[in-house]
Amino acid sequence: MGFLDIKKATKSYGSVRVLHETDISVEEGEFLVLVGPSGCGKSTLLNMIAGLEEVTSGDIAIKGRSMNGVRPADRNIAMVFQSYALYPNMNVAQNMAFGLEMHGIPKPERDKAVAQVADLLQIQPLLDRKPGQLSGGQRQRVAMGRALVRDPDVFLFDEPLSNLDAKLRVDMRTEIKKLHQKLGTTIVYVTHDQIEALTLSTRIAVMFGGHVQQLGTPKEIYDNPANIFVAGFMGSPSMNLFPARVAVENGNAIARIDLADGAAASLPFPPGNAMAAHDGRDIVLGIRPEAITDEDGADRNSKAIHRIETRVEVTEPAGSDTFVVANLGGKEVTGRFRADVDVRPGNTFPFAVNMEKAVAFDPKTEQRIG
């Protein structure tokens, strides 16, 4: 049993089920990120933890105590909203103290707690201002301050950074991470931004269509996606996926990709790869862009670098790297080259494919094979 347990929780609006049986157990001090495309049920799950939405069936427990029928105020949680939800008629200090006031904490203690948190977040100069007089980033801090003051068991964040501009978003991301490391609080954090998910979390739950698709550490999710959805959703640019067929030569598995001109490209899996058991099977081969590089940029430690020549269609310089789009078997493939490599659209160029990083999925079930 964990610190926060979600046990077979479902949610339906009328006959529409928006969250299917969900089991997640969060340890104390964990940073769990719920990530997924819009409408997948992230906020719904978060609101159920908060007690703002009732659980249709199943249970949510915090510190072993079932939360069914417990008011949001009595769950000892705090929440940071996407719009920050600062009370417009109260100043920053009053905003932060409101929750304590409602819980009957005497004024001197409230003031002390507010001062402490204001110090931590460096918002002391703002305490007398009204929310309308704050910038977006300042509001964000105050919203976090309001949550911190309560010293809750669990922090809930619903897309707290999505209203900030790109630069501020990155800064605040770092700051939230620092806060988590410093305070060691338990956090459930909703976002649809997979980079936020990867950088902040200790564990990620990838959601789609009301189902948790995969639950794991950022590394597990990134390197070993459980299915095509997770593979495609996490990572930017997203993973290259192409239909292929497994062939076995000398006991080693090879992925064969049919090319447009009737020929076939062969990409051998590393020796001893379990794909050898699937001779003749149709698969969807997944390779991340960083595993498709120019030859000199290839990972020196990999034992399965395979060279393949193909025509470059588009190059997209992105500063530190250049993304190169080529055509393989009628499908677009994106590779990640070092910025100073001289590739030009229209030329044929050798690509180095790191097959150690390749994954395979069943084309029908979309689940991971190997």
Partner 1 sequence: MATNASANVIRTGGGARFVIYTLLALFCIYYLLPLYVMVVNSLKPLSEIQAGGMMSLPHEWTLAPWRSAWSTAQIGVAATGLKPYFLNSILMVVPAVAISTVLGALNGYVLTKWRFTGDTVVFGLLLFGCFIPFQMVLIPMARMLGLMGLAGTVPGLIFVHLVYGIGFSTLYFRNYYQQFPTELVRAAMIDGAGFFTIFRRIMLPSSGPIAVVCIIWQFTNIWNDFLFGASFSDYDSQPMTVALNNLVQSSTGVKEYNVHFAGAIMAALPTLIVYIVAGRYFVRGLMAGSVKG
Partner 2 sequence: MSMTATRRSGNDWLRDALPKIVLSPSLAIVLVFVYGFILFTFYLSFTDSRILPSYGLVGWQNYSRLFSVRAWGIAIDNLLIFGSLYIVICCVLGLALAILLDQKIRAEGFIRTIYLYPMALSFIVTGTAWKWFLDPGIGLQAVVRSWGWESFTFEWIKDSHMAIYTIVIAAVWQTSGFVMAMFLAGLRGIDNEVLKAAQIDGASNWSLYRRIVIPQLRPAFMSAFVVLAHMAIKSYDLVIALTGGGPGTATELPATFMYSYTFTRNQMGIGAASATIMLMSIAAIMVPYIWSELREKK
**What does the binding site for partner 2 look like in residue numbers (CB under 8 A)?**
59, 65-71
CA-CA distance, 118 to 124, in Å (whole number)?
Answer: 5
Neighbours of 103 (CB within 10 A): 12
Q: Which does residue 136 bind out of Mg ion, partner 1, partner 2, none, counting CB within 5 to 8 angstroms by kind?
A: none
CA-CA distance, 342 to 3, in Å (whole number)?
Answer: 53
DSSP result, 167-185: HHHHHHHHHHHHHHHHH--
Among positions 41, 131, 225, 286, the unique one binding ligand ATP when judged by CB under 6 A: 41
Which DSSP category does 24 fall into? E
Q: Is the four-CA dihedral 97, 103, 107, 109 of positive or negative sign?
A: negative
User: Which C-beta is closer to ligand ATP: that of 159 or that of 294?
Assistant: 159
How far, in Å, are 75, 96, 189, 225 from residue 220 at the CA level?
A: 31, 38, 18, 7
Binding mask 101-140 for ligand ATP (x = CB under 6 A): ----------------------------------------
**Nearest C-alpha neighbor of 142 from the set 178, 217, 91:** 91
Q: Is the four-CA dihedral 234, 236, 242, 248 of positive or negative sign?
A: negative
User: Which C-beta is closer to ligand ATP: that of 6 or that of 123?
Assistant: 6
Residue 40 contacts residue 230 (beta carbons within 8 Å): no
Asked if 80 is part of the footprint of ligand ATP (rule: CB under 6 A), the reply reads no
Residue 2 contacts residue 26 (beta carbons within 8 Å): yes
The residues binding partner 1 (CB under 8 A) are: 47, 50-52, 71-74, 77-79, 81-83, 85, 87-89, 98-99, 102-103, 146, 150
User: Which C-beta is closer to partner 1: that of 133 or that of 217?
Assistant: 133
Q: Report, in Å, the least distance between residue 11 CB and ligand ATP.
A: 8
**Taking CB positions, which residue lies at the least distance from ligand ATP?**
43
| Tokens 């340890």, residue located | 27
Asked if 47 is part of the footprint of Mg ion (rule: CB under 5 A), the reply reads no
User: Which C-beta is closer to partner 1: that of 163 or that of 327?
Assistant: 163
Asked if 43 is part of the footprint of Mg ion (rule: CB under 5 A), the reply reads yes
Q: Which does residue 59 bind out of ligand ATP, Mg ion, partner 2, none, counting CB within 5 to 8 angstroms by kind?
A: partner 2
CA-CA distance, 247 to 260, in Å (whole number)?
Answer: 19
Residue 272 contacts residue 233 (beta carbons within 8 Å): no
Q: Which does residue 192 bind out of partner 2, partner 1, ligand ATP, none, counting CB within 5 to 8 angstroms by kind?
A: ligand ATP
Q: Which does residue 43 bind out of Mg ion, partner 1, partner 2, none, counting CB within 5 to 8 angstroms by kind?
A: Mg ion
CA-CA distance, 324 to 11, in Å (whole number)?
Answer: 43
Q: Which does residue 68 bind out of partner 2, ligand ATP, Mg ion, none, counting CB within 5 to 8 angstroms by kind?
A: partner 2
Q: Which does residue 18 bind out of partner 1, ligand ATP, Mg ion, none, counting CB within 5 to 8 angstroms by kind?
A: ligand ATP
Asked if 194 is part of the footprint of Mg ion (rule: CB under 5 A), the reply reads no
User: Which C-beta is closer to partner 2: that of 66 or that of 365?
Assistant: 66
DSSP result, 186-226: EEEEEES-HHHHHHH-SEEEEEETTEEEEEE-HHHHHHS-S
Provide the binding-site residues for Mg ion, judged by CB under 5 A: 43
Binding site for ligand ATP (CB under 6 A): 13, 18, 36, 38-44, 192
